[in-house]
Structure 1
């Protein structure tokens, strides 16, 4: 953990959280550390937003030539 603090990857902050939501998240995930729980939640939020952005790109270029793909036909 010390190396992360020295490289600037971690920071301390004060937040106001919904107590019942926090307790439910702890119960559902089994994560008891508040820092780990918040990091997991933020990671999940970022992954979901990135997936939505990627999905929004689907079909955005209908005139594009299909890209040839290598297929493995061995059984």
Structure 2
């Protein structure tokens, strides 16, 4: 998809410096991926506690218990 946007030069330069990315499209792609990751985490956190009767989820594979000794 092609899009024309107006960006703050200083902000873009800082993003390039922090990420080490030189291509403009790579910086924008990275920014979008970061936003998606952040918002997905926020939405997941909002679901926390929405099922108080849910049984605890085992944190180990059953067969790992045999080898833990």
Which TM-score band applies after superposition, normalised by the shorter structure?
0.7 to 0.9
Query: Are 1:31 and 2:21 matched, yes or no?
Result: yes
TM-score scaled by length of structure 1: 0.75
- Mapped to 1, the partners of 2:33 and 2:3 lie a distance apart of 17
State the number of aligned residues.
Answer: 65
User: Per-residue CA shift, 1:17-56, capped at 9, x if unaligned?
Assistant: 0110000011111101000100000011001100111111
Query: Are 1:63 and 2:66 matched, yes or no?
Result: no
TM-score scaled by length of structure 2: 0.81
List alignment gaps of at least 5 residues for structure 2: none
Aligned residues: CA RMSD: 1.6
List alignment gaps of at least 5 residues for structure 1: 1-10
- Mapped to 1, the partners of 2:57 and 2:10 lie a distance apart of 49
Greater RCO, 1 or 2 (C-alpha within 8 Å, sep 6+): 2
